[in-house]
A and B are shown apart, each in its own frame.
Chain A
Amino acid sequence: MEFGPILSSLRRNKVGAALIALQIAVTLAVLCNALFIIQQQTALSRATSGVQDEASVFIITNRWIGDAGNVAAREQADLAALRALPQIADATVSNDHPLGGPVMVELITLRPDNPRSGTGAMVYEVDDHAINTLGLRLISGRNFRPDEVISRNGVGEHQAALGGVIVTQAVARALDPRGNVLGQRALIIPDGTTAPIIGVVDKLQSTPFAGNSPFAAQSMLLPYRTVESQVFYLVRTKPGQLTAGTTAARNELYRVSRRRIIVGIQSLTDARRDVYRGDRGVALIMGVVCAILLGVTAFGIIGLTSYWVSQRQRQIGIRRTLGATRGTILRYFQSENLLIAAAGAVLGILLALGANLWILRSIALARLPWIYLFVGAIAVLALGQLAVLWPALRASSVPPAIAARSA
């Protein structure tokens, strides 16, 4: 294709060409970053929590009214009642849950002389029913024994030694690169408690707020029976019985005692939806903005190129008279757009990288992968070709006679 004439004609139309190129550049910059953010947020909200079959698990946030003295006994009565329900497979009590519960982090280390060698981990205070209730996959070691579970009254209270601690694989790897931690004695700081590592589970999310940092997979289970005014009962129903199980559990708890507040009762699926609502909102807005942006840019190209075509009718007619085919005219406008769009894409890639640097600083996001720039550039080039098609077809249908007529 002869680029020479295109370039010299563009030189006479600098502003229009620059407008299109700039539009394409900004569109590309927004497109790359928005797609990347969408991909990151979606991946985050779909990341597995380690809980098997989340759709069968629900959380009851329970708060006691009055006498704090016998909370431990009241809790045990609740759990016994819940486990006895026909719809329910198992239940446990915890200080936390993996989809938006409170954040309580302690340090676990294998070397008391050098605490910095340890790693932070989310604390789950649970009894021997937790692994079964949550459906965690124990990849080595064993579960807690019932006699190892000790009541813990508030965060401040702690034991000098515990029967054991179960860590996630991520914690095991952080403590020892080969993950060889089973049977080793760990120190938990700032509690000052020591416990042998008795088991390693495949995965248990620490908190959704950790995003995609390594901390998201770092959790540990301590054999404490949480005795606090507010606790979470984690309950697994038998398959397909979530609704029936939720209702039955609520009624059963109020039957056991009405001197309580059921602050919330929510399936893990709903908890997941709520905790990622903001992220999904951002992703959706980004998606809509991208779609409209592509539309606006396309219309801009159509508008300006149509104007050029109408301006150059006579020239097109002359070329047709001198023997240019319709295909030549069509190709002329397509190549012209390709040239402008390519210039815009180069500028856009630079803009996209700049914007990514700025976003990196303000939200914890990874560096923009090259594939996004590549795909984005192809997309805007294709968009340009598509948008220019209609005006170019109109140009190619200019009859040669027009050259003679309008002179």
Chain B
Amino acid sequence: MLGYYINLALRSLRQNGVLTVLMVTAIGVGIGASMTTLSIFRAMSSNPIRDKSSRLFTPQIDNYGPGGEGAVTEPTSDHLPMELTYTDSVALMRAHRARHQVAMYATVVAVTPPDPRQLPIQVPTRATYADFFTMFDVPFEYGAPWSALDDDGAAPVIVLARDLNDRLFGGANSVGRTLRLNDQEYRITGVIEDWNPMPRFYDLYSGKFGGPEEIFMPFTRAVAQRLPSAGMTQCLKNPGTGPDVLLHSECVWTQLWVELPNDAAVRAYRSYLAGYVAEQRRVGRFGWPARSALRDVSQWLGYNRIVSSEVSVLLLVSLAFLLVCLLNAVGLMLAKFMARAPHVCTRRALGADRRAVFGQCLVEAGVVGILGGLVGVGLMMLGLHVAAGLFSGAAVALTRPDGGDVAIALALSVGATLLAAMYPTWRASHVQPAWHLKVQ
């Protein structure tokens, strides 16, 4: 029966070509436009480390106190600073209360290529701990992370990103070789594969959708060398002068992530954190009942509201657009089904019941939905391609549509079309056979 209905649907669609093209275009354009923005929205708000999202946490400490609200440039719901002071990061690292913990910050180094014909380049760098790679499941192409001893000894060791290794060493295994960073020799211990989580959840304030960081070095080494932060530094008061000023100030500029395997560990860490803050208050660092917070990756992304508001507006606009296209489709389908009223009457007169007519019309709508969806998918590809060119280059990576996007587009198209077809179909199946037969 379904095959027969599909056959009938195709026939009827061919019969009234203009109307069909109008309907398919209306639905296709609506789906294409809304799916383009929806894909951008989905990519921006997606969880970059889904497997471990609920086990990775970042603590926050209220070291600003009341009056700190103004110092937070992008106000959040609870006015806590978005980063940690160096003092707190180091203290939490030393306490070693989680299975893994890494303090980190973004910096920039000058790299002198081994090939003297190449000019020096500037490379975005992450100063962190060896556990970074284990915690965030970073895949290695060659070698391995540096050792915990290197962390302790502030050793001149680095891990390179594959892309940088390609540019500097032509893609060869460079483990064990040295590279000049800021005029000092660093030993390469590993090369990672392409890895650039979007958004960069572990540090949302050094270009959340920016290009990848291409060098990783021990946090202790970067601090020993006084490498300045290339991320966000926020101070409530002028910290004063001198090279060590940021190390002892209440300025926040470091991030800390911990891995907690289960709920018990999370509870334990929360109470440890509260205890730490209370202790700091007791020793006179905070003159207020300081708060603390512990958020996992998805809570952290939500808390930081990382989807740009322009994209939300575009999403609203494209949903309105889809609505107009569907209203349009309802109208056109109504016209189409009602124009076929005589056919329906003939079928009814020959014994088809209302359900059968209803089913037949729905199948026809479904075919229109699938066709519209295909057009929509094509337009979405085109739209994402254009959007990638319109926005900054970094967004390109965001806008590669995946299977999920295509599936959503088709499902949305068929679903929406069927919904739109409900009323016209109902009307068609309630046509009075006798009345139309009489006219004929």
Contacts and interface: CB of A to CB of B under 8 A. Distances in A.
Interface of A: 15-16, 19-20, 22-23, 26-27, 29-30, 33-34, 37, 63-67, 154, 156-158, 190-192, 229, 254, 258-263, 274, 277-282, 284-286, 289, 292-293, 296-297, 299-300, 303-304, 306-307, 310-311, 355, 358-359, 362-363
Contacts of A158: 241
B334 interface: yes
A12 to B, nearest CB: 13
Contacts of A279: 310
A315 B161 CA distance: 76
A30 B239 contact: no
B320 A296 contact: no
A285 B335 contact: no
B95 interface: no
A262 B331 CA distance: 61
B115 interface: no
Contacts of B423: 15
B22 A299 contact: yes
Contacts of B121: 261
Contacts of A359: 313, 316
Interface in B304-321: 309-310, 312-314, 316-318, 320-321
Interface residue SS majority, chain A: helix
A258 B390 CA distance: 36
21 contacts: A19-B328, A23-B331, A26-B323, A26-B327, A30-B324, A34-B317, A63-B122, A156-B240, A156-B241, A258-B119, A277-B390, A278-B390, A285-B390, A286-B317, A289-B33, A292-B29, A293-B321, A296-B328, A299-B328, A304-B331, A358-B316
Contact of B238 (A192, A261, A282, A358): A192
Given A363-B309, A363-B310, A29 B331 contact: no
Interface residue SS majority, chain B: helix
Nearest to A363: B309
A235 B314 CA distance: 39
B339 A23 contact: no
B241 A157 contact: yes
B238 A362 contact: no
Nearest to A311: B338
B314 A355 contact: no
B112 interface: yes
A-B pairs with lowest CB-CB distance, top 7 = A281-B390, A307-B335, A190-B238, A300-B328, A156-B241, A66-B183, A363-B309
A277 B26 contact: no
A23 B327 contact: yes
B335 A65 contact: no
A355 B316 contact: yes
B26 A296 contact: yes
B391 interface: yes
Please indicate which of the listed interface residues A67, A258, A282, A286 has the most CB atoms of chain B within 10 Å of its own CB: A282
B321 A289 contact: yes
Contacts of A34: 317
B387 interface: yes
A65 B112 contact: yes
Contacts of A277: 390-392
Contacts of B321: 30, 289, 292-293
Contacts of B110: 63-65, 261
Contacts of B323: 26
Contacts of B120: 65, 258-261
Given A261-B122, A286-B317, A293 B332 contact: no
Contacts of B320: 26, 29-30, 355
A243 B1 CA distance: 72
